[in-house]
Structure 1
Amino acid sequence: MADGSVERARSFGSAAGRYGEFRPPYPEELFDVLEEASGVVLAGARVADVGAGTGIATRALYDRGATVVGVEPGAGMAAEFRRRHPRVPLVRGDGDRLPFASGSLDLLTYAQSWHWTDPARSGPEALRVLRPGGALAVWSNDPDVGVEWIADQQDRIEERFGPGWYINEHPRSQGGLEFTTRLLRWSRRIGVDAHLAKLATHSLFLVGRPGTDEFLARERERLLRLFPGGTVAEHYVVDLRVARAGQP
């Protein structure tokens, strides 16, 4: 990661509580598609969820019956994970140095977190810890810019802060890992203030860039004019990338 990305990667601990409260979940359909694309039945599967954060994806995997452990490098996020999910195992670590034995996992997942790794290290690490026939799954909740108001908001953010505010680097095929892609669209209805609170948990708004508070205040005014009832429909595209390790 570049130096600026390192700063942004470390910024989440200061907002761990808000992250857990306002970041969106993942649709149940995602986990059905994940099983189909990976060939791994989640119930009873040995799974590690890397960059677990506050445990949004980890808990969903746990609820599907996986024997899952979260992996989180940040102290603040790890503390919030443990507060929210005391029964779900968590270890401190990152994708570039996975704390697991070789060939020990059926499934390795990265939900909204692959872009915080060095793929030259995290790719080989994934191959090391997966059993033959296991799978690496990387996914993200991306704003659906096919929806006009979301595209307009994205344009305003880039106009004010520059391109690249939304960091999400998808994995690329490399030795032993060939990815297939599945896209799932879904939406949720939340209040304008909750939407802005979610926006404020993105790293751009956490690293203290000048003008972020003013931007969010103006954005609130715009959205309340657009949605006088005070509720917005957030639309997302879940981008799922799956690669299977060598077949057993």
Structure 2
Amino acid sequence: MTARALSFDVVAELYDTSRPGYPPALFDAVEDAAGRPLAGAHAVDVGAGTGIATRSLLARGARVTAVEPGPGMAGRLHAVLPGVPLVRAVGDALPLADACADLVTYAQSWHWTDRARAFAEALRVLRPGGTLALFWNVADQTVPWLAAQNARLRAHGGDGGHGVHGAREQGPLLPDSVPTTHRRVSWSRQVTLDEHLGNLSTHSVFRMLGESTTAAFLTAERQALLDVFPDGTVEEAYVVDLVTTRR
């Protein structure tokens, strides 16, 4: 587990309050891929962070075990979801029984794993017919202001602030021999400018650049966005990238 992967711990509360959730249509697509409802399913949410996806799974009636390595993120998850079983571990080595889960999810977290090891572990803990679901909220680059912001982020920090941080550029998400389904779900949300900038500041590119560099970028970004959203209400547009496979 890299320092960048654990860099969210120091902003766990802000991460929890400013990061986007997921639209209901995403979980409709997960159910369709799994061939069963989430209600009553045992889901293992790996890299659960502060429990953003965990909450959505619970709302659909799943029984969820959360897996999270970071102490700050896990602490926040336990504070907001005290009744959810929480395991401090990484996806590369899950301390869970064989064939115990109907669903294994990775929300914004598969790109932090050793993929071969994490895939083997997911298959081990899934019951026959169980589903592995990988998904990311990715800023919709067809929206002009988001494309312009992404260009500024890359010029400033060498990386985009939204999405999978080049997960697909690192090679196939799953082995080539594995049958997968790939779906995209578009959605949007309205937030205040402060909430949008708070969301940006929790991304790992800024956690690695440091506070002063981050503050300088966010000050300039505030002005750039006020030119687009003079009333201070930002329309964030996302495409959820969903990849599934069944054991």
Same topology, TM > 0.5: yes
Q: For residue 165 of structure 1, report the CA deviation from its aligned partner.
A: 5.5
The 3 A distance-change label for structure 1 pair 144 and 37 is: same
1:198–1:33: structure 2 CA closer, same or farther, 3 Å change rule? same
Amino acid at match of 2:236: E
Residue 167 (structure 2) aligns with: 169
* Structure 2: runs of 5 or more not aligned: none
In 2, the alpha carbon distance for the partners of 1:128 and 1:114 equals: 17
Over aligned residue pairs, what C-alpha RMSD do you find? 1.5
What letter corresponds to residue 186 of structure 1 in structure 2?
W
- Give the superposition deviation at 1:164: 5.7
Aligned position for 1:196? 197
Which residue number corresponds to residue 129 of structure 1?
125
For 1:17 and 1:59, locate their aligned partners in 2 and report how far apart those are by CA, in whole Å.
15
| Aligned residue identity for 1:177 | V
Contact 1:103 1:129 in 2 (8 A): yes
How far apart are residue 99 of structure 1 and its match? 1.4
List runs of 5+ in structure 1 lacking aligned partners: none
Q: Give the direction of change, closer, same or farther, for the CA distance of 1:131–1:175 in structure 2 (3 Å limit).
A: farther
Over 3 Å counting, the alpha-carbon distance change for 1:199 and 1:224 in structure 2 is: same
SS of match in other structure, 2:198: helix
The Cα shift of 1:7 comes to 1.7
Cα pair 1:134 1:244 within 8 Å, conserved: yes
AA in 2 matched with 1:190 = V
Structure 2 residue 188 is the aligned partner of structure 1 residue 187: yes
Matched, 1:96 2:92: yes
How far residue 10 of structure 1 moved from its aligned partner, in angstroms, is 1.2
Q: Distance in 2 between matches of 1:37 and 1:120?
A: 22
Question: Residue 58 of structure 1 contacts residue 70 of structure 1 at CA under 8 Å; is this kept in 2?
Answer: yes
Q: Which amino acid aligns with 1:216?
A: L
How many residues end up aligned between the 2 structures?
A: 241
Mean Cα deviation higher: 162-171 or 139-148: 162-171
Contact 1:40 1:107 in 2 (8 A): no
- How high is the TM-score relative to the length of structure 2? 0.93
Q: Is the 8 A contact 1:112 1:168 kept in 2?
A: no
Structure 1 equivalent of residue 80 of structure 2: 84
% same residue = 51
Q: Contact conserved, 1:47 with 1:107, CA < 8 A, in 2?
A: yes
Contact 1:141 1:237 (8 Å CA) reproduced = yes
Return 76-85 or 202-211, whichever deviates more.
Answer: 202-211
Measure, in 1, the Cα distance between the counterparts of 2:176 and 2:154: 35
Tell me by how many angstroms 1:198 deviates.
0.3
**Partner in structure 2 of residue 221 of structure 1:** 223
